[in-house]
Chain A
């Protein structure tokens, strides 16, 4: 068994892993990226549409172009990486076990670990569509990989369930390939992806978007022959008599992503309800010295925010090695962060009281779209410690908020902090 020792091991060589490794390497620490694919880059490699990097580079790049800039930088810095190498276990003692064809079994002993394994797509079972299980049902990302990387079309006529970004982008992509996309069907009364994708991928190509509908049956035994879609009411129950049949040979599912945390769970880290690990304000999981960033922590819609988060994870790992490594400092006094009114989840899950003098960055998503709202942070004594106005919020856009240490008045005595998105009081409305 080959053995390695490093300061920081980064699991996953996508946008997050690369950005984190670059920061760590710049601090002259010993870093190693472990990537299971045959090249660095992660999911962005198959996203050949543009729309990446508006924040980071102030340019509109395609996915591969965006990530190539990081790959180049990593290579210039001589950051070591292992490809075709899959991590199948890591331990709380920060030993990582991986395999690859060249070296066989590898053990990597790290002082800190940065998790950057990305996410996976939800499948049909997760949403329980009844019907047969014929060939011709794919997740949108799977189809994207077929078309953009392998060079095959999974079908000719499509219905896409779910108006997530990947689904909408694939609707356009397949139309370019001469396929027919009959409809994008969305169970919510609103689009679940970004507005820009609705316009550029559906409207511009005349692809019908059918909201408040869902697929209620899949037809065809061997190959998909069509789907029945039905209107749903506010509780997502099917409205009787609203069924419509659409003929198609392929159904694509774009029904959401889940952070990929099997390894994290098996290592014993606490996992939160949305599938990402529980983290503190340093992006540190419940296992000391193990940090998480990118889609493995929470599903992001913008790669720029992934990059920013990954840099923070890198910086925190550096700080950990410098100040806390092997010191057995307990992370004792903590404040719990709670998702309140119209908030689906919030990260971090906990704030260390000892870190209250630092700037704090919160990320979260809302449950429902809303306009003219107030984002406020409330402590366990119902005191508002921070608030900010927003013109609108939608579930498809992750919200990132920075609380400068000077702005917030979090009472070090409080036990919890609730984030809520509430309508603005009347007086404030005119200010828009």
Chain B
């Protein structure tokens, strides 16, 4: 079993007003049993809880709402688009027109997703980023991880740069790719030249088919929509009577739709040949695929993960194409409630600084837990009391009063007993980094483990275990529950009598829900130093602040006896 690292997760308040949750196997909670929100103990095992618990580092803090903010209660705003491979910034206008992939020369291996590098065919063996500028073409794309090469799909390039443009003009196997527009132009010429044309059942590639379908239905919608009417021509054209009656037809049965269609828009019809995007499937295609599988075997087929990365549906390795890197973004974050910015990175791709960065760890105390005495095993022995040291560290420049509350026994089937020996204490103010650097030499003296085990300094109820400049640690006494579900009936808890199934995943992890209330006084003027309170002369006026939240402390795994 892997070692267990104790953890603390904080609950974001944005989930507080949700309906009460239920644990596995529990009946629907009856509305009468639902007591006041405040009285309810937070259950970290509730299925819903997983969505509201976050490590402190993942949380932001809104100074205007005085509240914790998680990724679910902030709004993301894209500051910059960039390619993660070439690190070039992409203007949002070209993201709109060109799509969300890099259009320079950044391609990923269709087999293993590693970045592809360009190399000359002549020196393909030496591979590895050989100096391409000095060598002559043709060039291929090589994967440095799985050794895949674009030669395998019959693609060679003339130039070592502008890969995106070159690749879009060539099909697998080396045939030139003709875009839908060119194809249409050619088609028209063909029709005018010969009466037969390319035939109504010509096979199209996916791009051309989509292009044909799109242009066909756009023209249909434009024809059927009256010039006045509902006046909604653009977009998807849901406002057109044609589309409306078709939708109505879906709900009311075909007779309604048919009648309307005949009377009102006889001009609305469906695609009927390949120039309009119609592609007939035949059993011949299936037969082709089957014979191909028989020929190439299992190795010749693409895995689901490989298929997923492709723009078009592809089944065989020979049909895979290199794909360009998805763009990444730098985003700023706003509070959903008050719209103030909580985090704003510098817009330049390579600049890692933030203009604004209101992270929760600068506002709410960090909580850590560790065993008081080093145990021989990492597992907790059932029914044997153990002591843990809970350390609370204050990041604020004011001293704070902290109140810690835990339920007497943890929720769930296996109720461990928890006692915080000193649930109320005051923590000194944090000083800034400069002070901290000065203090570096004189280390604060800490109680050593030896002293603790000597029993000279026994943990006492109501007393702080240890105190530093801006941190306090208190002792928590825990009696881990037994994980047994068998045994005599009278020994069992009510929970186990109801459900004595086998141990579920991570049910042996001892998690303590902790309700933390932090109170402090702050300079009202200092808080709004920049603006409104400039004229406020009552500088001595202190403002009371309070912050309360649930968190969950993962202590360790209980041994199975």
Is this pair of chains taken from one and the same complex?
no
